[in-house]
Structure 1
Amino acid sequence: MPKKLRYAGLILCLIGLFMIAGCSKSKAPAQLPQVTMGLAMFTQPTNTGELLAGYIPSDQFKVSAETLNKLDADFEKLLLTETKRIYLRGASARQCFEITTAQRREDPMNALKFWNQVGLCMKADVLIIPQVIDWTPREGGEIGAFQSAGVNMDFYALRVNVDEPSISRFHFEETQESLSNNLLNIDKWFKRSGKWITAEQLAEEGMRQAITELGL
């Protein structure tokens, strides 16, 4: 085959690949309108009554209060720097959580009603609810880990409503794998500079994805 024809064929193939890649891109999620946003604290459900979706692993790792507080700070920072929204958070969220928890002891309620009550207490139109389902700390260092980090997290955007609350969910679950175990993770491996990252760093990746997927 003449060189010109070979080059022409190669160019057509490349054009075709770019067109396929362009068509395969998913649409960006619809952005939430300008409403009053509330941000709940990170919690870890330990029984089915606290779950909004999914299930609790039988060997669930207990996340420390210190870790939950760090996740709160990291998520708040990301939301304040990567979105253009103002969030009701901090003391307001904690106070309303404690008030609703006390009410729950007197009048048992499911997880959806519970968080809706928290949102009503905060006077929020939409309440962002981050939850840690399971957690695997990294054991070892950046160069060599005896146990890789893993996180199982849910992020919810709850439309607060007295009568019919509605909810959207983004689920993030990943355990870091070596490149030799899964070549499909090559982009992630290079993005992480070929290092074994901590569970907190992995959780931050989940937070960034949640911001995008929930249209925050």
Structure 2
Amino acid sequence: MRRVYSFMAVSALCVSMLLAAGCATSKRTAAVPRPEGKLAVAGFSNPIYNWQILAGYLEEEGKPVPDGTLQALDSALVDALHRHQVFDFITPTAVLQCQDVVVFEESGLPKISAWKYWLGVAKCIQADTLLVPQVTYWRERDGGPNGVEAPASVALDFFLIDVKNERMTRARYEETQVGLSENLFTARKFMDRGGKWVTATRLATEGIEEKLMELGL
């Protein structure tokens, strides 16, 4: 029988009382200074083979995200940048034109090919820094907001490429939502989500917000 994740009213009440008594919401600040020079932001890509990613490896190759996912993540990315007062950047639409120009090298070592491709895109668009977001794992929740058989789970990578120095900074976000009874250390996050099981898109949106700050954006 498939396991059913559910809430326990008593646990929820106890944790909510604890949080109300002791925790105050703090304003997030960027972990590092904002990158200098001209910033370009690529749209989300969805590598389905290991040679397509800039670093790391895929848990499962050959499994693309559902239709419409990348477009939704692109909108969330631009919205988050604007909330962070980042307005002067080359948009994903403009970057896409250079992606069409630069030919992805499928021969040779996988990581080198991906690196050369994105560095070529950055040089084509004449940016000092290029942000490359990739979604490497996506599982939608199986169920609804009040109970699931399998929770949502996502993995996102954000690569900030320094074009002049040909260096790359990576920020990775991975989360599989868990309930109150499974991990009290994530109780605050669970309650901030209204005590509900959220969608994969909601997890990814929170990941975008968090990792942009980590990269100074």
TM-score norm. by structure 2 comes to: 0.79
User: Are 2:195 and 1:194 aligned?
Assistant: yes
Partner of 1:168: 169
The corresponding residue for 2:88 is 86
* d(CA) in 2 for partners of 1:180, 1:79: 34
Q: Give the 3-state SS of the residue equivalent to 1:112 in structure 2.
A: helix
129, 146, 149: which one pairs with 2:149? 146
Shift of 1:126: 0.5
CA change 1:61–1:195 in 2 (3 A) is: farther
Structure showing greater radius of gyration is 1
Which residue is 2:122 aligned to? Answer: 119
Contact 1:127 1:160 in 2 (8 A): yes
* 1:110 pairs with 2:113: yes
2:32 is aligned to: 30
CA contact (8 A) 1:80 1:86 kept: no
Q: 2:209 aligned with 1:211, yes or no? A: no
Aligned length: 187
Distance 2:175 2:107 in 1: 38
Distance in 1 between the 2:67 and 2:170 partners? 24
Instruction: Name structure 2 gaps, 5 residues minimum.
Output: 1-28
AA matched with 2:166: P
How far apart are the structure 2 equivalents of 1:107 and 1:98?
20
Equivalent residue for 2:78?
A: 76
Gap runs ≥5 in structure 1: 1-26
Higher relative CO (CA 8 A, sep ≥ 6), structure 1 or 2?
A: 2
* C-alpha contact (below 8 Å) 2:38/2:89 kept by paired residues: yes
Q: TM-score, normalised by structure 1?
A: 0.80
How far apart in 2 are the matches of 1:76 and 1:33? 17
Identity fraction in percent: 33
**Letter paired with 2:157:** D
